[in-house]
Amino acid sequence: MGSGLGTCTALGYNIVVKPAIFVVEDDPDISRLVRHHLENEGFTVRVYPTGANVLADAERQRPALFVLDIMVPGKDGLEICRTVRQTPGLASVPVIFLTAKSSEADRVLGLELGADDYIAKPFSPRELVARVKAVLRRFERPLPPSPMKIGEIEIDPSAMTLTVRGALVPTTATEFRLLDYFARHRGRVFTRDHLLDSVWRDTAYVTPRSVDVYVRRIREKIEPDPENPRYLKTVRGAGYRFESPK
Amino acid sequence: MGSGLGTCTALGYNIVVKPAIFVVEDDPDISRLVRHHLENEGFTVRVYPTGANVLADAERQRPALFVLDIMVPGKDGLEICRTVRQTPGLASVPVIFLTAKSSEADRVLGLELGADDYIAKPFSPRELVARVKAVLRRFERPLPPSPMKIGEIEIDPSAMTLTVRGALVPTTATEFRLLDYFARHRGRVFTRDHLLDSVWRDTAYVTPRSVDVYVRRIREKIEPDPENPRYLKTVRGAGYRFESPK
DNA sequence: GGAATTGTTAAAATCCCGTGAAAAAGCCCT
DNA sequence: AGGGCTTTTTCACGGGATTTTAACAATTCC
C-alpha cells in the first residue's frame, strides 16, 4: 500500500490505477522537481504553468489531488481552489498549497478555502511526497452508495434494506445509517463522538452512550453470536470498528 | 521551540538538549564560519573535513541535521546523502547541501537525491542559520496520521492495529497511543514525564514508573527478544527511544 | 560494593462497556 | 388535538478489562 497506488477490481481482474496529480506551478525548476519525485512514487503528474486549463482538464480526467502554488500568473492558486470547491465533480478533491510565506499557511488552511494541507517553500522532496501520500490516505473515498455485500450480510442503501443470511431484517432509520456508515468505512476505528457527528441528524446534545445502544441493536441483527461479534467489534478505550470477517 | 533547542526533564532537573549538527566541509575557513554561527545559536556542531567517518559517528550519536558540501575529497556530499537515505536509523535525518556552483542543475540534482535544502556559496551567516532553523522546524511539523512501517512492524492509526511480522497483535488503547507516539518520533529520546504529558489522557498525577510497565508490554509485543530490544531502547538516565533496527 | 536506575510481577484501583428498562420524543391516524 | 404506536435517548448497575501502584529483583555506573 505504501506506494500510493490504488487498485480496482473490474471485469474480474485487477487493474492498477495510477492516481493523477495536477500541479499548478509556474517555476519550471520547482515543477520539474515535483514531477520527478511524484512520478518516482508511481503517480501520474500533470503540470500546468498557469491556471488557465487545469479546471477544464480536471473535469474530464478527475485528478486524485491538486498541488497548487498560491501565486501563479493568471488565475492564482487561491482562485483555483475556490473554483474547485464549487465545481460539483471536483468539490471533494483534496488540495495542497505550496506557499512561500508561512503566514499564508494559516489562512490557506482556514475553513473558507478548504485546503487540506500546505507545504512551505523551500520544501524538501521528502516532505512533498510524505504530505501528498498522507493527504491521499486521509481522503480515501468512502465507497459510493451502492449495494454492499460483506460476509453474509447485504446492505442496500437505495432500498434501505438489510439482508442477513438471506433473510430480510427490518431496521430503523438510525440503525441503518449507522450500519451503512460502518460498512462504507470498513476497518477504521471510530469514536462515539465521531459517529455522533457524522451519522446522527440533529446532534443537539446526545450522550455518546447512545451509540452503545445502537451498536447492540445492530449486533443483534447481524451477528450470529452478538456476544462475540465478528463484524462490529468494540475497540476498548477508543470506539468501534466494523470489519469483514475472515 | 522555534529556537531549535529542545528541553527534556530528566534526573529531576531540566536539561537543555542541544541538537547536534554534523557538517562535512573541507575548506577550514568555511567550516569555521559554519561552526561559529551554528554554535552561537545553541547547536552542537561537529565538523568532518572528509566524508570518511561521519556515517559511523552519526549512527551512534544521531544528529538532528547534516550540512554537506557537495564536493569534498573522499566520499562526496552526494554520496553521503545517498547513503544516509538508505541507512535505516538515519533515513529521516534532514540534509542541507552547500555548493559553490550556483547552477540550477546542481541545486535540482541535490534535491532530487533527497536533500531538504540547499545553500549556495558564498552564503551569509544569517542565511545559513535561517535555513538550518527552517529545515528543523519543517521537520517537526507532524504529518497527519498515516500507516507506518518500521522494520517488521506496521502501525495503522486509523484502524488502530499493530502488525508484527505479519501477525495482527492486539493492543490496548494506551499501549497503542504510546507506540504510535514513539513511531511518529523515531530516534528521539523522551523522558517518562514527557511521555506522560503527551501520550496519557488525563494525567492527573501518574507515576513515571507506569511508563516502564507500558514499555515492557510494548516490547513483549514487538520485540523478538524483549531482553535485547531492537526497536524500543532504554536510554539510561534519560528515558526511552524508539528506532528503526539496523 | 553501593547508589541509582530500570525491569518485573502481581495485586489493587479504576475505568469502560454491555445490558435492561424506562423516560422522552416522534409519528401517524382519526 | 389526542391516543397509541415506534423510535430514540437516558440512566444506572455489574462485570470484566485496563491502568496504576507498589514492592522487590536485576542491572548499570561510579
Q: Give residue A216's pLDDT.
A: 97
Q: Which residue carries 487498485 as its cell?
A: A7
CA of A74 to C1' of C16 (A): 57
| Residue A15 to residue A31: CA distance in whole angstroms | 29
Nearest CA in chain B to A37: B112
CA of B218 to C1' of D19 (A): 14
Establish whether the CB of A244 is closer than 7 Å to any nucleic acid atom in strand D. no
- For residue B159, give the nearest of A134, A237, A241 by CB distance: A241
Q: Which nucleotides of D are covered by protein (CB under 7 A)?
A: 6-12, 17-23, 28-29
Q: A246 to chain B: which residues are within 8 Å by CB?
A: none
CA distance B96 to chain A (A): 10
Cβ count near A179 (within 10 Å): 26
Q: Which residue carries 528506532 as its cell?
A: B243
Q: Give residue B192's pLDDT.
A: 96
The predicted-structure confidence for A109-122, as pLDDT tens digits, reads as follows 654 667 888 888 77
Nearest CA in chain B to A30: B108
Q: Give residue B245's pLDDT.
A: 80
pTM: 0.81
> Is the preceding peptide bond at A245 cis, omega within 30 degrees of 0?
no
Which of A27, A123, A124, A194 to mutate: most B Cβ within 10 Å?
A124
Q: CB-hemisphere CA count at 13 Å for A246?
A: 1
Between A1-15, A153-167, B22-36, B188-202, the lowest mean confidence (pLDDT) is in A1-15
Listed in sequence order, the residues at least 6 apart from B104 whose beta carbon sits closer than 8 Å to its beta carbon are: A29
Residue A108 has pLDDT above 70, yes or no: no
| Residue B172 to residue B175: CA distance in whole angstroms | 5
Q: Are B62 and B89 in contact (CB under 8 A)?
A: yes
A vs B, Cβ pairs < 8 A, gives: 65
Q: Give residue A105's pLDDT.
A: 61
Q: Which residues of A touch B (CB under 8 A)?
A: 1-2, 29, 32-33, 36-37, 117, 120, 122-127, 130-131, 133-135, 137-138, 187-189, 235-238, 241
Establish whether the CB of B200 is closer than 7 Å to any nucleic acid atom in strand D. yes
Listed in sequence order, the residues at least 6 apart from B32 whose beta carbon sits closer than 8 Å to its beta carbon are: none
More confident residue, A169 or B226: A169
Q: B115 to chain A: which residues are within 8 Å by CB?
A: 124
Q: Give residue A8's pLDDT.
A: 41
Residue B180 has pLDDT above 50, yes or no: yes
| Residue A64 to residue A62: CA distance in whole angstroms | 7
Distance of CA A233 to the CA centre of its chain: 22
Find, among A118, A132, A141, A125, the residue nearest to A43 by Cα: A132
Average pLDDT value for residue range B188-203? 91
Which of the 8 DSSP states describes residue B44?
Answer: E
Q: What is the identity of the amino acid at B205?
A: Y
Q: Give residue A140's pLDDT.
A: 82
CA of B71 to C1' of C15 (A): 60
Q: What percent of chain A has pLDDT over 90?
A: 52
The vertex-A223 CA angle with A219 and A229, nearest 5°, equals 80
**What Cα–Cα distance (Å) separates residue B233 from each residue in A227, B108, B176, B222?**
39, 38, 17, 12
Q: Got the DSSP string for B102-145?
A: --HHHHHHHHHTT-SEEEESS--HHHHHHHHHHHHHHHHSPPPP
Q: Which residue carries 450500519 as its cell?
A: A179
Q: What are phi and psi of A61, to 5 degrees?
A: -105, 95
Find, among A124, A133, A70, the residue nearest to A97 by Cα: A70
The predicted-structure confidence for A122-151, as pLDDT tens digits, reads as follows 788 888 998 999 899 888 877 778 899 999
CA distance B14 to chain A (A): 31
Q: Give residue B161's pLDDT.
A: 97
Residue B2 has pLDDT above 70, yes or no: no
- For residue B143, give the nearest of A120, A125, A130 by CB distance: A130
Q: Are B78 and B70 in contact (CB under 8 A)?
A: yes
Strands ordered across the beta sheet of A153-156: A148-150, A153-156, A161-164, A167-169
Q: Give residue A107's pLDDT.
A: 63
Q: Which nucleotide is nearest to A211 (CA to C1')?
A: D9
| Residue A54 to residue A201: CA distance in whole angstroms | 37
Find, among A101, A47, A110, the residue nearest to A82 by Cα: A110
Question: Hey, which residues does B120 pair with through a beta bridge?
Answer: B99
Residue B4 has pLDDT above 70, yes or no: no
Q: B147 to chain A: which residues are within 8 Å by CB?
A: 1-2, 137
Q: Got the DSSP string for A196-225?
A: HHHH-SS-SS--THHHHHHHHHHHHHH-SS
Average pLDDT value for residue range A60-83? 86
Q: Which residue carries 534532514 as its cell?
A: B94
Q: Which nucleotide is nearest to B219 (CA to C1')?
A: C7
CA of B210 to C1' of D19 (A): 9
Q: Give residue A165's pLDDT.
A: 94
> Is the preceding peptide bond at B122 cis, omega within 30 degrees of 0?
yes
A189 and B159 within 8 Å at the Cβ level: the answer is: yes
Highest mean pLDDT among A194-203, B66-75, B86-95: A194-203
Q: B107 to chain A: which residues are within 8 Å by CB?
A: 29
